[in-house]
Structure 1
Amino acid sequence: MDIEIFPHRVLGSDTTEKLLNEIEALNDVKRTVIHGPRFPANEETLPPKFRERRVININGEDVILKVKTGRIFVELTMESTIKQIDEICKKHIPYGYDINQDKSNYIRKERTVSDRIKYGEADLPDELIGMTDQYSSFEDHVNILRKDQFD
């Protein structure tokens, strides 16, 4: 089952880091995807306190945050986990959010045409299916955090 966390405002880097750390720490969470607009290319010209593109640490692994977090898609197996995620969201998103489960899948589970174009017929690990952007290199847009490394 997939859910969508839709904050009423775009999340800052600090909030994204705290929220993802707690969500990823849940045993039932299989995969988490953040979605939102890319940070502006000229962000280096902003004063440091207004820069959001930075390295965040998720469960001990450094990840470069490249987008403003507008939506978070979470793949899980038990519906009871949604209550835990709701509590985490209440703690970190005080201005409101929605948790949607309207669609059966927010995260693709089967190879897409774009996957085939980009990677051919090569076997893709399950966590990479549907993560393809044919216009960017793999390292530019996907970070895989393996839970088994943290247990």
Structure 2
Amino acid sequence: MDKTEKCEIIDLKIFPHRFLKVETSEKLLNKIYSLDGMVRVIVKGPSLPAMVSYGPARGEQVNHSDRKVIIVNEESMQLRLKVGEIIISVSYPELEIFMEKLDKLLNDIMPCKYDLFMGIFSKTNVTISDYLKYGRGFETKIDQRLIGMVDPSAKSSETIKMVNKI
């Protein structure tokens, strides 16, 4: 990064000391989406597969109690993972106010201790995987929030859910 470039977006990582329940995750994500300055949210954690992919029970359906449909910002989505961390990309000019509001809501909602980190935890530049998935000249044709979020061997509809801010 040149010294003349300005930081426009910064990431905040919420790292709970244990996995969040479905209800807590839904409530927290809705509160995060209500804050001004949020650009995108990435939820990470271990997968909750719908089918057993290997072993003697291969092909059998997995009925996990945490694989539920949640509603975030009036959009429903299947929760396909246990929520282990949440990365929020925030507009840098609004960071200070965002941090104050986020700290308050985390203290109100989180059922356990957590760590909050500030830095760059998501891709901000175009990657080789992006070129493999979309081809040349795609940068102006897709939503900028998708850059760096691609898995070239997976369908984006299965791994990424875009939730628009109301």
TM bracket (short chain): 0.7 to 0.9
TM-score w.r.t. structure 2 length? 0.80
What percent identity do the matched residue pairs reach?
Answer: 31
How has the CA–CA distance of structure 1 residues 140 and 45 changed in structure 2, closer, same or farther, with 3 Å as cutoff? closer
TM-score relative to the length of structure 1: 0.87
The alpha carbon displacement at 1:42 in A equals 4.8
User: Is it true that 1:124 corresponds to 2:133 in the alignment?
Assistant: no
In structure 2, which of residues 97, 110, 114 is the aligned counterpart of residue 97 of structure 1?
Answer: 114
Taking a change above 3 Å as real, the CA distance of residues 133 and 45 of structure 1, as seen in their structure-2 partners, is closer
Structure 1 residue identity aligned to 2:110 = I
Bigger fraction of residues in helix: 1
Which aligned segments of 4 or more residues in structure 1 are displaced greater than 6 angstroms?
Answer: none
Structure 2 SS opposite 1:146: coil
* Deviation of 1:82 (Å): 1.2
- 2:46 — aligned with what? 37
Mapped contact 2:13–2:86 kept (Cα < 8 A) = yes
- 1:132 is aligned with what amino acid? V
* Mapping 1:59-78, distance limit 5 Å: 59-77=73-91, 78=94
Distance 1:114 1:45, change over 3 A: closer
SS at match of 2:161: coil
The answer to whether residue 69 in structure 2 is matched with residue 55 in structure 1 is yes
Structure having the higher Rg: 2
- 1: distance between equivalents of 2:62 and 2:128? 39
Matched with 2:17 is: 8
Q: Is the 8 A contact 1:109 1:126 kept in 2?
A: no
Structure 2, unmatched stretches of 5+, are: 1-9, 53-60
Give the drift of 1:53: 0.8
Deviations 1:86-116 (A, max 9, x none): 1111122121101101x3x112121111111
- Report the Cα distance in structure 1 between the residues aligned to 2:26 and 2:127, rounded to whole angstroms: 29
Q: Name the amino acid aligned to 1:106.
A: F
